[in-house]
Amino acid sequence: MKGEVRVVTSNEHKFAELKDLSGHKVRLVRIDSPKLEIQADSLEEIVRYSAVTFFSLFRFPLIVEDSGLFIEALNGFPGPYTNYVKRTLDNEGILKLMNGIENRRAIFRSVIGYIDVERLELFKGEINGHIGDKAEGDKGFGFDPIFIPNGYNISFAQMDLKEKNLISHRSQAFREFLRFYEKI
């Protein structure tokens, strides 16, 4: 096992979450991400493409992560376009779309891609929950204020980073990655 993994991302919140999880097992280094995500409906496709593109650019082992909120009643919207939809419609837009809809089930999905000269491996995590009636909490980022994980009555944005990291989609994917990385 090597001692350092570079994370290509422009999202400081994501990096902070991964950093918290990496503990002494691995040292994470953030590399600012060039804007190069493809438009695709699956996180896997996006992550695979980003990993290969960044690897051909940087030439060192790296991980990329992409995640999205998939709302069942909205046919998976906003899905892989979570970032753009957050910036335009924001939490209020999603709540308006969900107005009067009984099925509020939603899934937060995360895919982490690790690439080095010998391999490209994907690791996945997901957490089931529902869309709350209003935005609550100011921690986290993205759509955290409207996502309430199953078994909880508070949103992701009402949880400390440590608490969110116990259950989140991203932490699950990252732990999968760590298990793999310890062996190579």
Which residues carry a binding-site annotation for substrate?
Answer: 9-14, 67, 141-144, 164, 169-170
Catalytic residue among 20, 32, 41, 66, which? 66
Annotated binding residues for Mg(2+), written as ranges, equal 37, 66
Select 50 or 171, whichever has its Cβ closest to a second copy. 50
Could you give the angle at which helices 169-181 and 12-22 cross, rounded to 10 degrees? 50
100 Cβ contact partners less than 8 Å away, ≥ 6 residues apart? none
CB of 42 to a second copy, least distance (A): 11
CB of 81 to a second copy, least distance (A): 5
Select 93 or 160, whichever has its Cβ closest to a second copy. 93
80: preceding bond cis by omega (within 30 degrees): no
66 catalytic per annotation: yes
Determine the 3-state secondary structure of 134 from DSSP: coil
CB of 89 to a second copy, least distance (A): 6
Select 82 or 171, whichever has its Cβ closest to a second copy. 82
Residue pair 132/155 in contact by the 8 Å Cβ criterion: yes
Binding site for a second copy (CB under 8 A): 35-41, 74-79, 81, 83-85, 87-89, 93, 96-97, 99
CB of 45 to a second copy, least distance (A): 8
62 Cβ contact partners less than 8 Å away, ≥ 6 residues apart? 5, 6, 7, 8, 31, 51, 54, 55, 114, 115
Select 38 or 184, whichever has its Cβ closest to a second copy. 38
d(CA 6, CA 15): 10
**Which residues are annotated as catalytic?**
66
